[in-house]
Amino acid sequence: MRRTTILLGSIVLTLTLAAAAQENRSEISLQGTGFFTRDSTGNGTAYSTTETGGLLATYRYHLNRWISAEGVYGYDLNSQKYLLSSGAFRIQSGIHQATGDLVVNLPSRASSRLNPYFLAGGGALVFEPNGNIINSVSGAQTQAKGVFVYGVGVNYAIRKRLSLRAEYRGLVYGTPDFGFSAFRTNSITHTAQPSIGLAFRF
C-alpha cells in the first residue's frame, strides 16, 4: 500500500511539473536603460544629476494570464550634484536598484505579437560612492533610499519564447545626501528610466 501511494504521488508530481513546464510561466529579461533624474531643491540646496545609461535585469513569474510578480535588479552610474551658497559639490556613485513589482498584463488577441502591460511596486535604490577623483568631497557614505516604482511596457514576440521588450519605469524617491546634513534637501525626486531589451520565457 505504501509503495502504491508513493508511486501515485510521484506520478501526480511529475504530471504537475510537466504541466507547469508547458505553461512557460517564468520569464527573464535584460534591458539597456536611460536614467534621467529631475532637479529638485530644499533647505537652501539645489540637487541635480548627470544623465546616464545602465542595465536592468528582471525575473517575472506569471501567476496567471493577467497577473505576474517580478523581481528587478538595475545598475546605473552617475554624478549627484549639489549647489549650496558655499559652493558646488559633486559625488559620483553607482546606483543599485532592487524592487519587487506587480505586473498587470493587458488583454490582447491570441494572434497578436504585442503583449502590453503596466506595473507598480517598491524597493530600494542604493547609492554607493565610488571614490572617483572627480568627487569634490570625501567621506561620502553609501545610502539606501526607499523607492516607489510605476511603469508601462510591451513585449513584441519575435519567436515563440523570445520577445523584444520596450518599457518605461518611473522611480519616485527622496534625494540622497550621503550622510552630509548640508546636502539634505528633504525633497522627493523622480527618475525616468526608459529601456529596451530582450525577454525570454521558459
Report pLDDT digits (tens) over 118-177: 999 999 999 999 877 677 788 899 999 999 999 999 999 999 899 999 999 999 999 999
pTM as predicted: 0.85
Distances (CA, A) of 199 to 11, 47, 148, 157, 161: 32, 35, 23, 9, 8
pLDDT score, position 20 = 45
Rounded distance, CA 40 to CA 175, Å?
A: 8
The pLDDT tens digits for 80-101 are 999 999 899 999 999 999 999 9
Alpha-carbon gap, residue 151 to 28, rounded angstroms: 17
Confidence check: pLDDT of 199 > 50:
yes
HEC string of 70-88 equals EEEEEEEEEEEEEEECCEE
Residue 6: predicted pLDDT: 47
Can you list the domains of the chain with their CATH numbers? 25-201 (2.40.160.20)
